[in-house]
Amino acid sequence: MDRTERREHDGGFTGAVVRRVAGAAESGSTGSRHLHKGFGDSLALAFELAVTPAVFAGLGWMLDRRLGTSPLFLVVFFVVVFAYLAWKQFVRYDADMNAQHDKLFGRRDEPPGPAPGKLP
């Protein structure tokens, strides 16, 4: 019997710690995978929110320089792109939350009344 088996066989505190650490290591692989996926998704979102408006603002600045319209296109491109990205993230978040709700509590019933887009 090697050291680890002896510790696991021991019914005392050390055996309980070894079993607990071993169980956490086994279940940690899935949790770790989700953690890394969440970190990667967050980094991609941060990059998208920072770089995309900057690229379009740069294109607006170049267009402003060529047309002599000061910061007009720079501001317009930046605001439009940032508003689009904010809207896109809101829609994605809402869809994810609805999917989580449906996963936990089952599908929601449709509200009473006519279907959306249909006249009574």
Whether 44 and 65 have beta carbons less than 8 Å apart is answered as no
Q: What is the per-residue pLDDT across 59-99, written as a single tens digit (0 to 9) for each?
A: 999 999 999 998 999 999 999 999 999 999 999 999 999 99
Distance CA 110, CA 102 (A): 13
The 10s digit of each residue's pLDDT in 16-52 is 555 555 554 455 566 788 778 888 888 999 999 999 9
Note whether 7 and 18 are within 8 A (CB). yes
Cut 0.95: pTM above it: no
